[in-house]
Amino acid sequence: METCQGSIPPDLPPLLDEVFATDGLFKRLYADLSALDFPAHSRRRIELEPSAIAIAEWSPTVVPGLLQTHGYARSLFREGDRRASEAELTSKVNKRIARQHVLKGSSPPDFSVIICESVIRRKVGDADVMRGQLAALLKHVDRPTTVLQVLPLSAGTHGLMDGPISILTTSDGQTVVYTEGVRSGAIIDEPTEVRNLSRSYDVLTASALSRDASAEMIRKLMEAS
């Protein structure tokens, strides 16, 4: 670090904030720098995360990035780019894991996340990777600021079938929705659209399993893996 070579360890910014009592300044600066390495379509969302007081996510295909383990993220990146070098994979994984610091610290945002049952049943990586990811999800269930729910396949159709969304509310009262495709994404801030998508998310929470029932499903799958 003294020679300014190599990447910044993701656990360093929060340590600097703690030592210098800078109220998250180093975390925010690190997030701003990290955002530059993400695709343009997702950069705005990455920039908003550190200032969010509430984040709500619906993920129908994979565990959301904010909850992924190193092994799970690495497996996804490996499948996404078979030509990537080990160094490139490590860099991508570190940047993704670094984002998770927004859920830690003295004042984390309220985090609500709904994942489809298929997400916890779909094998990503080997058995150890998947078991580790399921165990990590169970730890998040116990966090007081996190509400994790599983939408069972038996729930049928719903208003968010098109893909994943993230609803971010910042400390200044701004609420935006980020939608994402395979190679594209968009920030929606038009009030009517934000309200409609937020309402669809609220409906989805009612269709999903309770917090306890979701944890039990995850636990059973982990024990069977």
So where are the chain's domains?
A: 12-224
Least confident of 21-30, 60-69, 149-158, 196-205: 21-30
Cα–Cα distance between 19 and 30 in angstroms, integer? 16
Specify the pLDDT at position 166.
97
Q: How far apart are CA 44 and CA 35, in angstroms?
A: 8
Name the band, by pLDDT with cuts 50, 70 and 90, for residue 10.
low
pLDDT for residue 9: 63
Asked whether the beta carbons of 97 and 10 are under 8 A apart, the reply is yes
Architecture of domain 12-224: 2-Layer Sandwich (3.30)
* Phi, psi for residue 148 in degrees, rounded to 5: -110, 125
pTM above 0.75, yes or no: yes
pLDDT-derived band at 11, boundaries 50, 70, 90:
low
At 108, is the pLDDT very low, low, confident or very high (cuts 50, 70, 90)? Answer: very high
Q: Alpha carbon of 65 to those of 50, 70, 86, 106, 179: distances in Å?
A: 14, 10, 20, 21, 14
- Give the pairing type, strands 175-180 and 185-188: antiparallel
CA atoms of 74 and 90, how far apart (whole Å): 8
| CA distances (Å), origin 118, targets 51, 62, 69, 176, 225 | 31, 8, 18, 27, 15
Q: How many residues does the chain have?
A: 225
Q: What is the mean pLDDT of the chain?
A: 89
Alpha helices in the chain (DSSP H): 12-20, 25-35, 40-48, 70-80, 86-98, 117-121, 127-141, 191-207, 211-224
Residue for token pair 């509430």: 54
pLDDT value at position 124?
98
Q: Whose structure tokens read 């610290």?
A: 105
